[in-house]
Structure 1
Amino acid sequence: MFDPRPLVDIATAIGREAGALVQRMRASAVVSFDTKSTSTDVVTAADRASEQLVRTRLSELRPGEPILGEEEGGPDGGIAEGLTWVVDPIDGTVNYLYGIPWYSVSIAAQLDGESVAGAVVEPSTGRVWTAARGHGAFLDGTPLHVSATTDLSLSLLGYGFAYRPERRQRQADTWAAMSTRVRDLRRAGAASLDLCSVAAGRLDAYAEHGLGRWDWAAGGLIASEAGAVVRLPGSSPELGEDATFAAAPGIADAMHDALVESGFGKV
């Protein structure tokens, strides 16, 4: 029987190495960067160096297995038959660029497109979030559980913005509408850690459009294994084809409906 837990150990060990690298690069020099889809969508030299380190170490420890990375790509469509590694070398690059300590190295193993093991490493703190399919979710070895909230109006919702200004405006309208239906909103800037925050009960729910597979591959599994209701891109058309959603089960349906009514699925 397939046991994904050894893959968590590999993801954790490599994620720690990559996290140490990006921390050294952040401390030793001014961070240089380029842009990608828009002038606000940045990539740093540390992103590229981190991904190269992860690819090199995976090729040593798991030779021949495909790798999908944010910076260097991978299998067409991001899904390969069998086991594929999915890597975000720095999730929260803008935070990293500005010295805000809320960013991560995210590494997941997916089997036929579904996450079975993952680790999200916080370089600035050394904390490690992990999960293996069917074996629960953990923060530094301590089991994680989503919040027990059942009242949408007392819920804390995490969210994100797209990079393109015209879509941001539509999203801003949605978040303005949602602000009257929940306790409060939080925009932190790193999807993997937002999903981990749902797993830990630090957020009651999280929703965002436009994430890449590398953004949610590990964090989505961690949230799910901690008990969250998780809907990934392509699974919930009423939220939008590129929507990622995670929520504590006690408010998941109410949060979903509130997002739809606030126009989330139309942005």
Structure 2
Amino acid sequence: MAHDERAATARRAAAAGAAVAAELFRDDLAVERKDGKTDLVTRADREAEAAVLDAIAESFPEEPVVAEETASGAAVPEEGPAWIVDPIDGTNNFVRGIPVWATAVAAVVDGEAVGAAVVLPALDDTYVADGEGARLNGEPLGVSPRTDPDTQSVAPTFWWGLDRRAEYGAAATEIVERFGDLVRFRSAQATLAMVAAGSLDATFTNRETNAWDTVAGAFLVRQAGGRVTDLDGDRWRHDSRGLVASSGHNHDAAVAAARAVDDHRSE
């Protein structure tokens, strides 16, 4: 079946999940911890994910899904189609009433994205990417044209745990010494979407990443004309360690920053 139908399904599914989550945003939800003090989950995560899975099943009922809350142990298959789902990326923001969180869905074939949607309902923003490019709220988008590092804004993404704060400190130092400013949004998919839209110039981590936190946003960046690599500067895949996404301007400096952070790696 054509990839454009997969991309359209990704958008519909992300919108369905985002609508459910938005109804519960700033509601009095019970919060559970999955693994550590900052790894949270709520009823909204589970109900939003169910809505996403239902929407995918309407068009592609037999295809495998890698989803954060219900299939987090599953791996992205190297052959054939699959779906990658994060119902609420940025749950810590969600539970504290901060509007930067996203529902993300990616369609992949043979391990490579062919369509994706990242919906930030509290901001009324819908990012989509397909074979034709990337769009924000229906309008074409592209990465930042800034070339002067002193004018660029860069975000560290993903969270270094309590036993890895030296890496977080190193990331902050590398950014403020190499670029104009540091910002952090606590949602990887939202951050990647902002790189795609040119609101940010780059983002990086040296950490291992989960497919549901990265694949949709990385595809957005690429389809918007940006670059996404691993710590060696090679093309990023869902199973790479580390991620560097940028407009492409001064990408090597962002890679160097990520590698310097990795020198502080404690596990």
Matched residue type, 1:19: A
- CA deviation vs aligned residue, 1:105-143 (integer Å, no higher than 9, x gap): 00000111111100011121332100013x111101111
Matched residue SS, 1:18 = helix
Match of residue 41 from structure 1: 39
Match of residue 166 from structure 1: 163
Change (3 A) 1:111 1:138: same
Aligned counterpart in structure 1 of residue 185 of structure 2, from 185, 188, 192: 188
- Separation in structure 2 between the aligned mates of residue 219 and residue 206 of structure 1, nearest angstrom: 11
Deviation at 1:101, TM superposition (A): 0.3
Deviation at 1:74, TM superposition (A): 6.1
- Separation in structure 1 between the aligned mates of residue 107 and residue 120 of structure 2, nearest angstrom: 18
Matched residue type, 1:61: S
Change (3 A) 1:61 1:90: same
* Structure 1, 79-88 or 251-260: larger mean CA deviation: 251-260
- Separation in structure 1 between the aligned mates of residue 107 and residue 11 of structure 2, nearest angstrom: 11
Matched residue SS, 1:77 = coil
Match of residue 202 from structure 1: 199
Contact 2:244 2:258 in 1 (8 A): no
- CA deviation vs aligned residue, 1:78-112 (integer Å, no higher than 9, x gap): 22521100000000000000010000100000111
Match of residue 18 from structure 1: 17
* Structure 1, 190-199 or 9-18: larger mean CA deviation: 9-18
- Separation in structure 2 between the aligned mates of residue 75 and residue 42 of structure 1, nearest angstrom: 17
Match of residue 98 from structure 2: 100
Give the alignment's TM-score, normalised by structure 1. Answer: 0.90
Change (3 A) 1:254 1:216: same
RMSD: 2.3
Match of residue 251 from structure 1: 250
Structure 1 segment 60-209 matched on structure 2, within 5 A: 60-73=58-71, 76-133=74-131, 135-208=132-205, 209=207
Change (3 A) 1:177 1:168: same
- Separation in structure 1 between the aligned mates of residue 208 and residue 32 of structure 2, nearest angstrom: 20
Deviation at 1:66, TM superposition (A): 0.5
- Separation in structure 1 between the aligned mates of residue 231 and residue 30 of structure 2, nearest angstrom: 32
Change (3 A) 1:263 1:19: closer
Deviation at 1:161, TM superposition (A): 4.2
* Structure 1, 49-58 or 97-106: larger mean CA deviation: 49-58
- Separation in structure 1 between the aligned mates of residue 33 and residue 234 of structure 2, nearest angstrom: 31
Matched residue SS, 2:178 = coil
Deviation at 1:266, TM superposition (A): 4.4
Contact 1:41 1:163 in 2 (8 A): no
Contact 2:160 2:167 in 1 (8 A): no
Matched residue SS, 1:245 = strand
Aligned counterpart in structure 2 of residue 214 of structure 1, from 212, 215, 218: 212
Deviation at 1:152, TM superposition (A): 2.3
Deviation at 1:265, TM superposition (A): 5.3
Matched residue type, 1:78: V
Deviation at 1:160, TM superposition (A): 2.3
Deviation at 1:145, TM superposition (A): 0.9
- Separation in structure 1 between the aligned mates of residue 19 and residue 8 of structure 2, nearest angstrom: 17
- Aligned length in residues: 261
Matched residue type, 2:155: G
Change (3 A) 1:202 1:163: same
Give the alignment's TM-score, normalised by structure 2. Answer: 0.90
Match of residue 52 from structure 1: 50
Matched residue type, 1:112: D
- Separation in structure 1 between the aligned mates of residue 173 and residue 72 of structure 2, nearest angstrom: 37
Percentage identity across paired residues of the two chains:
31
- Separation in structure 2 between the aligned mates of residue 20 and residue 46 of structure 1, nearest angstrom: 10
Matched residue type, 1:181: R
